[in-house]
């Protein structure tokens, strides 16, 4: 019997990798993009960067480790496609060097993309079109799977470094201006507009050069816009100066559910399977004590921990447990209320977003030490709850309001014809 060779589907390129490819392609069109990576495991991030280094080619890479490297960059910007910044103190001067080298409107020129594994201490000092790429457990797993299936010898070239002018069609005007979008609570900020314009240019360059290496210019198509719109809606992305901290918001929400369960606010018969709730800790003469420990926060982030199992099981059996569970930060959609009694505890645990011990330090502990996360009593002698400033808890994200392409070109037949396939 003849046995046919087994074929395995090639995994889709992770959003993190696609973003780096578009950033380099955007530089070819004269739109520099900076990507700051947070909380990625070093082995995973090093392989992602290695992929981008292979894409650009060894002669088009510039490492910034010393002040001397910043000075050398000015003389080789046109030949560089990727700048890797390794020292936090050199981030801002490197970003300024790249931004000041941008070609003027109407001029052809190439500038490099910039990558770092940290964010600037003062985000307002960053002059670039900068996105923070935040690791999630799901994204790290997707990258690891892609890396094991991606062939070293494959042609990773996205676009060569020759300048490539990109035209922004008129139908993009509603999203590339500072006007208020119909579905958005406010206009896109200046940095948001630069990020969007740069990634659209990168998508256009990558698509065009992928089909016709000899092409010397192109216009953004509908395909390019939708590709970028979907990418910008990924939960791993936020502009560098966005105040909202989604992970801290989830940590606070889950901690408050745990504190509510300890205080007996979840209606259920039987004993509470946690330590005693301390209502005496704020009385005069007693030392101040946080209502939850670092270890408990870490255990609440480990979705396979005994603490999470006891909490989820407790909520599952509670009369109002469904409402409390839905506040805990889910990785998938909220379960159907009608099916709530039939869900097993394991599936409910697996639907919770995890976090690591390191993320406890970089998100919850950092904000608690700075006084931005505080524990307050809702009533005079009621249980304490953690609270975040409204700005940090506001999950509104400007790019979520970007309209589908059909809303931009649907009312203009000429634009529909010119926008590409």
Nearest one of 29, 17, 22, 24 to 62, comparing CA atoms: 24
If pLDDT is split at 50, 70 and 90, which confidence band does 8 have? very low
* Dihedral sign from CA coordinates of 409, 412, 418, 420: positive
Please tell me what DSSP assigns to residue 109: -
Buried b (16+ CB within 10 A) or exposed e, 31-48: bbbbbbbbbbeeebbebb
Distance CA 30, CA 24 (A): 10
Which one has a higher pLDDT value, 215 or 147?
147
Residue 325 has pLDDT above 70, yes or no: yes
Return mean pLDDT, the chain: 81
> Tens digits of per-residue pLDDT, 57-98?
989 999 999 999 999 998 888 889 999 999 999 999 999 999
> Tens digits of per-residue pLDDT, 357-406?
888 888 888 888 878 888 877 665 667 788 877 766 665 567 888 889 99
Which one has a higher pLDDT value, 346 or 397?
346
Is the Cβ–Cβ distance between 52 and 157 less than 8 Å?
no
Say which range, 93-102, 250-259, 325-334, has the weakest mean pLDDT.
Answer: 325-334
Residue 416 has pLDDT above 90, yes or no: no
> Tens digits of per-residue pLDDT, 171-218?
998 888 765 454 444 556 788 889 999 999 999 999 998 777 777 788
If pLDDT is split at 50, 70 and 90, which confidence band does 290 have? confident
Beta strands 82-85 and 218-219 are unpaired
Domains of the chain: 15-242+397-418 (3.40.50), 246-393 (no CATH)
pLDDT for residue 34: 96
- Residues belonging to the chain: 421
The mean per-residue pLDDT over the stretch 310-317 comes to 90
The mean per-residue pLDDT over the stretch 43-68 comes to 93
């Amino acid at each position: 019997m003849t046995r046919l060779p087994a074929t395995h589907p090639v995994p889709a390129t992770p959003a993190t990798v696609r973003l780096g490819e578009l950033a380099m392609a955007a530089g070819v069109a004269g739109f520099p993009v900076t990507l700051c990576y947070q909380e990625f495991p070093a082995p995973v991030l090093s392989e992602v960067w290695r992929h981008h280094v292979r894409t650009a080619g060894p002669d088009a890479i510039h490492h910034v480790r010393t002040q001397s490297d910043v000075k050398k960059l000015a003389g080789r910007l046109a030949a560089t496609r990727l700048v890797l910044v390794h020292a936090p103190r050199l981030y801002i001067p490197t970003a300024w060097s790249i931004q000041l080298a941008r070609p003027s409107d109407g001029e052809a020129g190439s500038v490099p993309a910039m990558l770092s594994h940290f964010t600037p201490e003062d985000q307002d000092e960053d002059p670039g079109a900068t996105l923070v790429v935040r690791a999630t457990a799901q994204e790290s797993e997707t990258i690891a799977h892609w890396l094991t299936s991606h062939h070293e010898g494959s042609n990773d070239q996205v676009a060569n470094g020759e300048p490539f002018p990109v035209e922004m069609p008129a139908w993009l005007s509603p999203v590339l201006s500072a006007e208020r979008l119909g579905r958005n609570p406010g206009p896109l900020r200046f940095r948001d507009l630069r990020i969007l314009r740069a990634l659209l240019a990168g998508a256009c360059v990558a698509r065009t050069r992928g089909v016709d290496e000899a092409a010397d210019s192109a216009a953004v198509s509908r395909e390019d816009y939708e590709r970028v719109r979907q990418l910008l809606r990924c939960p791993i992305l936020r502009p560098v100066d966005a105040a909202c901290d989604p992970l801290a918001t989830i940590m606070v929400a889950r901690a408050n559910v745990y504190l509510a369960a300890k205080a007996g606010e979840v209606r259920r018969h039987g004993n509470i399977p946690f330590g005693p709730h301390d209502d005496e800790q704020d009385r005069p003469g007693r030392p101040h004590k946080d209502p939850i420990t670092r270890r408990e926060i870490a255990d609440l982030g480990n979705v396979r921990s005994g603490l999470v199992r006891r909490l989820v099981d407790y909520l599952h059996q509670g009369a109002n447990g469904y409402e409390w569970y839905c506040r805990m930060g889910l990785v998938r959609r909220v379960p159907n209320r009608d099916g709530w009694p039939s869900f097993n505890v394991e599936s409910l645990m697996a639907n919770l977003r995890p976090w690591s011990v390191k993320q406890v330090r970089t998100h919850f502990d950092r904000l608690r030490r700075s006084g931005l996360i505080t524990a307050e009593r809702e009533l005079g002698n009621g249980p304490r709850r953690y609270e975040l400033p409204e700005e940090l808890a506001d999950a509104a994200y400007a790019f979520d309001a970007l309209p589908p392409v059909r809303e931009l070109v649907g009312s203009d037949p000429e634009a529909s014809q010119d926008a590409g396939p």
